[in-house]
Structure 1
Amino acid sequence: MNLSACISCFSSSSGTDVSRHAEQDQGNFRVFSYNELKSATTDFHHSKKIGEGGFGSVYKGRLRDGSFVAVKVLSIELDSMRGEREFIAEIASLSDIKHENLVTLRGCCVDGAKRYVVYDYMENNSLAHILHDQKKRLSFSWEARRDISLGVARALSFLLEEVEPHIIHRDIKASNILLDKNFTPKVSDFGLSKLLRDNHTHVSTRVAGTLGYLAPEYAISGHLTRKSDVYSFGVLLLEIVSGRPAVDFRVDYKDQLLVQKAWEAYEAKELVNLVDPKLETNFPVEEAVRFLKVGLLCAQENLRLRPLMSAVVKMLTSETDLQDVQISEPGKVSDFMNIRTQQTPLSEGSSTSSGMSNMWSSVNLGR
């Protein structure tokens, strides 16, 4: 990929004096002009806003060729982000990471101090929109839940074990699992932490993620490894099968954490009772219970006991027998006030290392 051609398209600040290079494809990667994205999103009108997360707001856009895209406006302070050329190089590099269950990154835009990332538009929004909607859950079949679970597991196995250097996502949750027109799951926001400066240390670093999904060793000490993502996937799997939120602030404190409810059901040999009642009896009991057991295996407190994601895929597809597998108690962040807010995360040889400063202002609450 010829990045010099991409980089040369930018003016110093306004984005109005953009050369014709912005209109040229660089393989599958494009550098968009600000005016093109502004037009596509109707000047980033509030009616076009389709999501918001730790990295920024997302807008639905329609390009001049008629295709739809999702435009993420990054809410990261400029002094904590890589320079213009490095930013484009990192985005271009991420666009080369392809998998059926990863959102396709189409390109980016730099307009002065502002940064934009452009993705394929996902017609069915996110998994969270289904799980957190009582009516939509009624039509959320077991087959769909199984396929989504497997798709996410395969994507994480790819990111954590096959991509070099490994990419730790840091914020696996239902709202970061997007669904295309066929309800194929697509993991979003992978690798965006690479956009931060490697040695940017004067901004406070904080644990990135969402309560309920955070691995306890990461939430409390800032110790980040690939097994942190495995923990988050375990919670997500429990959520998909049960229909319950990872943390439910509407109930008594002792019943708020899904992993605790799942553990109690496991110990009582009543895991089947945790399956989403919206499914009624329209699910294979043995498979549903196996999925719940895999979720608990992934969420074990001892990170060394958590399986690799490639092993998780085999468990979910019955290639590995779980009959005699022992499951230990899950890790829990029982006191949310213990979450560390001033921390330089450690890594397991992944692309999230190098004393990274954090682009997230705080740990996300709720869903």
Structure 2
Amino acid sequence: MGYCCVCKEGFRGNPYLSHPDLGCKDINECDDGKHRCSRRCHNVEGNYTCSCPPGYRGDGYIDGSGCKFPFMEISLGISVAFLFVFTFVSTLCWGHKQRSLKQLRKKYFEQNGGNYMLQQMYQQQGHTDRAKIFSEDELRTATNNFDENRILGRGGQGTVYEGILPDNTHVAIKKSRIGGDPRQIKDFINEVAVLSQINHRNVVKLFGCCLETEVPLLVYEYVDNGTLLEHIDPLKNEHPLSWEIRLRIAVETAEAISYLHSAAAIPIIHRDIKSANILLDHNHRAKVSDFGASRLVPLDETQVTTVVQGTLGYLDPEYLLTGQLNEKSDVYSFGVVLVELVTGNKAVDFNKPEQRNLAMHFASSLKEDNLWEILDKRVLHQKNEEQLKEVAFLARKCIRVNGEERPTMKEVAMELEGLISMKKHPWGKREDMMSEECEYLLGHVADGYGNASASTSTVYDSIQREVAFEIEDGR
């Protein structure tokens, strides 16, 4: 019927006593283990609280979120910081690399005569086909960073890659192996300037060059049907070119070389005429290529002294001995190409000891009157025997050891053109028609009754003797 005393929650003792030591006293839950803290416990009057150590996250209670170390947040923070530092350092390195690359390209550009090239281009502003200076990035993009699969061929002068410009123009990009000799820079730039203006159908067109690399890169038109050597060699091509196509290729090549010697602004000696440097398009039209070894010859000079350079089997023996380069050196090389066309053999063949050097073997065979034994049987037939014989005699003239005894390329081209004209208009084989044509061309000086005068007959007889002499001489 009275009252009952109890201690408050969190206290323990005698609730009927008011003395602090004997009455209700606070319970330390942290000491007796009667708490729900996962890490740290803090006793308070009548209760307790939980907390987490520094660096941990949570409320500290076992039945709550507890205490967890923030691995994800720290990892993310470290990653973001590392990424920021990496980006910053990479940007600095990229900027330094770009500045170094820009300086290196500028150095190469000046070393390769870029300033002189710009001066030449400025002087050629009236020419629409002047050479273009490509950037290295443009050509790397065109060749897929000079991919091995884009290689068209390798030679003594360098590697040629197939490229596609932004306007979808197919080009052949030549990466030269020859180092930049400061003494040859001016000659190289002159050559580029001259070749860029050449618009001959049988000379591979030079679009431009890149001067930002250690050695200049040349950009030519792309010719898609391989080289003449590939079409002549029976091991590489099962279907040989017909004699008509071979003769036309010879004429086109001779015209191109004659143009370089005689009609170019500054005469050019190719110095590496060979069947591997004569490209064929899809119509088997000839294109003379690879001017890496060519030399410009000033109009007031007939020959230049150079380090001997060329290809074994095509190299002019006189040039090899003296080092004196002139137009007749190209004539000799072209003569070897003619020999390849009529025999179907390679200029040098180590598998055939008896004709290891084709030019020497050919000259020896003609001297022994064994012409028909060495001619290519795949194209030899009764209708073209005379043409083959004429071309063989012309080739013999071209490969004479003494350069002064060789004809000029202009004379060679005219003789070859004459052979094609003779086939189209075989008036030379008909004596009666020749007589009528000659009389007509000479004006047919006659009296009032239609009788030819004595002077006309005399001139006509002399022409007949001259024609007969030229045919017997192989011309």
> What letter is aligned with 1:40?
A
Q: What's the counterpart of residue 348 of structure 2? A: 247
Question: % of aligned pairs identical?
Answer: 37
RMSD: 2.8
Cα distance, 1:211 vs structure 2: 1.1
Q: What's the counterpart of residue 224 of structure 1? A: 325
Query: In the alignment, is the contact (CA less than 8 A) between 1:315 and 1:322 conserved in 2?
Result: no
- Confirm or deny that 1:276 pairs with 2:347: no
- Confirm or deny that 1:165 pairs with 2:256: no
- Confirm or deny that 1:146 pairs with 2:254: no
Query: In the alignment, is the contact (CA less than 8 A) between 2:272 and 2:294 conserved in 1?
Result: no
**What is the distance in 2 between the residues matched to 1:231 and 1:87?**
24
Q: What's the counterpart of residue 79 of structure 1? A: 181
> What letter is aligned with 1:144?
I
> What letter is aligned with 1:217?
E
Structure 2 length as normaliser, TM-score? 0.58
Cα distance, 1:12 vs structure 2: 4.1
Q: What's the counterpart of residue 227 of structure 2? A: 126
Cα distance, 1:278 vs structure 2: 2.5
Query: In the alignment, is the contact (CA less than 8 A) between 1:122 and 1:179 conserved in 2?
Result: yes
> What is the SS of the residue equivalent to 1:107?
strand
User: Which shows bigger deviation, 138-147 or 116-125?
Assistant: 138-147
**What is the distance in 2 between the residues matched to 1:209 and 1:296?**
20
Q: What's the counterpart of residue 84 of structure 2? A: none
Query: In the alignment, is the contact (CA less than 8 A) between 1:138 and 1:278 conserved in 2?
Result: no
> What is the SS of the residue equivalent to 2:181?
helix
- Count of aligned pairs between the two proteins: 300
**What is the distance in 2 between the residues matched to 1:326 and 1:292?**
8
Q: Which has the higher contact order (CA 8 A, sep 6+)?
A: 1
* Unmatched tracts of structure 1, length 5 or more: 1-9, 196-204, 328-367
**What is the distance in 1 between the residues matched to 2:289 and 2:171?**
14
> What is the SS of the residue equivalent to 1:261?
helix
**What is the distance in 2 between the residues matched to 1:54 and 1:186?**
19
**What is the distance in 2 between the residues matched to 1:300 and 1:100?**
29
Cα 1:222–1:33, aligned 2, differ >3 Å: closer, same or farther? same
> What is the SS of the residue equivalent to 1:314?
helix
- Confirm or deny that 1:70 pairs with 2:172: yes
Q: Which has the larger radius of gyration?
A: 2
**What is the distance in 1 between the residues matched to 2:326 and 2:367?**
28
Match runs of 1:1-367 below 5 Å = 12-14=103-105, 27-28=128-129, 29-80=131-182, 82-83=184-185, 88=189, 90-134=191-235, 136=237, 138-190=239-291, 193-194=294-295, 206-252=307-353, 254-279=354-379, 281=381, 284-318=384-418, 322-325=470-473
Query: In the alignment, is the contact (CA less than 8 A) between 2:315 and 2:333 conserved in 1?
Result: yes
Structure 1 length as normaliser, TM-score? 0.74
More helix by percentage = 2
**What is the distance in 2 between the residues matched to 1:79 and 1:261?**
38
**What is the distance in 2 between the residues matched to 1:38 and 1:239?**
37
Cα 1:55–1:250, aligned 2, differ >3 Å: closer, same or farther? same
Cα 1:157–1:86, aligned 2, differ >3 Å: closer, same or farther? closer
> What letter is aligned with 2:473?
V
